[in-house]
Amino acid sequence: MINLKNKRILVTGGSGFLGSYVVEKLKALGCINIFIPRSKDYDLVQMKYVTKVYKDVKPDIVIHLAAQVGGIGANRENPGKFFYDNLMMGAQMMEIGRQVGVENFVAVGTICSYPKLTPVPFEEENLWNGYPEETNAPYGLAKKMLLVQSQAYRQQYGFNSIFLMPVNLYGPGDNFDPDSSHVIPALIKKCIEAKLNNSQKIVVWGTGNATREFLYVEDAAEAIVLASERYNKAEPVNIGAGFEIPIKDLVELIAGLTGFKGDIIWDATKPDGQPRRRLDTSRAEKEFGFKAKTPLELGLKKTIEWYQATISNLSINNRITQRK
C-alpha cells in the first residue's frame, strides 16, 4: 500500500470533470503536494511538454486523466483527433514516467475499449474478444493501448503502472455542451430547456433500446484514489456500479425528475451505440475495496439540482451585465 499523503502527485486533467473530484478526494486524505498541469502551459500531445511537466513537477505518483472525449456525436466527428491525441498523451506520459522512475502510474482508460458484443456483465478477461463499437472505437482503442504499454513496461522494466476502466460517469460539473456531452447531461439539458421554453416534445437519439451503466463521479474518484493506494497488478480493473438501465427508462426517469411532461420522440436514424453495457465490478471490490455508493436516482437529483442552479446563476449574471 502506498501512503499518498506525503507524495508529490501529478494529476493530468485535474481541473476537468472527473479530475476535480479526484483532487478533492486526495485533499481529503491530507495530500498537499498535488499538481494540475494546465493545457495552455503543457500540451501533453507534444513530447517536449510532457518532458517539461515531469521536470517541473518531479512527481512520485501520476494519475493520468487527461483525455479528448465526448458522446457519440463528438466521436463520429473527431475519430482521428480522439485517436491521436489520446494515444500520444498516454504513451508519452507513461514513457517519461518510466524514465524518471515514478512510484506509481495510474492510467485511466474507458469502457469504450470493450468489444461491441461483449457478454454482459463485461468481465476484464473479455477485453480482447472483438472490435469495439464503431462510433467510439478510435477513442477506445487509443485508451486500450495504455493497457498494452502498462503490462509491457511492468514485464520488462518492473514499472508499477495500473489500468482502470470507468463506466459512463455523470454528476455535478458534467459537460452540458450539446456538441460533446454524454447522454445524461444531454437529456437533462433537453428536458429542462423544453420545460423553460414551454415545448411539448424533446427528440432523443436512437431507439431507446440500448442499455447503459452509470457511475456517479464522486464514486469514480474514490475508486481511483483507492486503486492508487492499494493496487499494484498488471490486470485491468473495471470501475462501475454493476447495473444497467435501458436508455428509454433513463429518459423517462430524467423527464420525471425535471418535471418535463411532454412527448419523447425517438430519432431512430441516429445510432444507439453499443447495444448493452454493464460491468462485472467484483475485481475492484476484491483488490482494493471499492463498491459504488450512490444510487442512480439520487445521483441524478444532485446533478439536476446543480445544473438548475448553474443556469439560474448565469441568467442572473446576464441580467446584471445587461443593466451595466
Q: Specify the CATH number for 4-315; select among 3.40.50.720, 1.10.760.10, 3.30.420.40, 3.90.79.10.
A: 3.40.50.720
| Average pLDDT along the chain | 93
pLDDT, mean of residues 80-103: 97
pLDDT at position 318: 54
- Note whether 44 and 89 are within 8 A (CB): yes
pLDDT, mean of residues 216-224: 98
Give the residue extent of every domain in the chain.
4-315
For residue 160, give Cα distances in angstroms to 83, 110, 120, 149, 230: 25, 20, 30, 11, 12
| 153 belongs to the catalytic site | no
Question: Which residues make beta-bridge pairs with 246?
Answer: 211
In this prediction, residue 165 has a pLDDT band, given cuts at 50, 70 and 90, of: very high
Q: Assess whether pLDDT exceeds 80 at residue 319.
A: no
d(CA 293, CA 96): 36
pLDDT, mean of residues 57-85: 89
Name, in order, each residue with C-beta under 8 angstroms of 16's C-beta and a sequence gap of 6 or more.
Answer: 65, 66
Side-chain half-sphere CA neighbours of 77 within 13 A: 9
In the structure grid, which three cell numbers stand for residue 171, read together? 454528476
pLDDT, mean of residues 118-129: 95
Q: What is the pLDDT of residues 225-248, one digit of tens each?
A: 999 999 999 999 999 999 999 999
pLDDT at position 314: 62
Among candidate residues 42, 114, 139, 307, the one labeled active-site is: 139
Rounded to two decimals, what is the model's pTM? Answer: 0.91
Residue 236's nearest CA partner among 154, 305, 119 is 154
d(CA 83, CA 222): 27
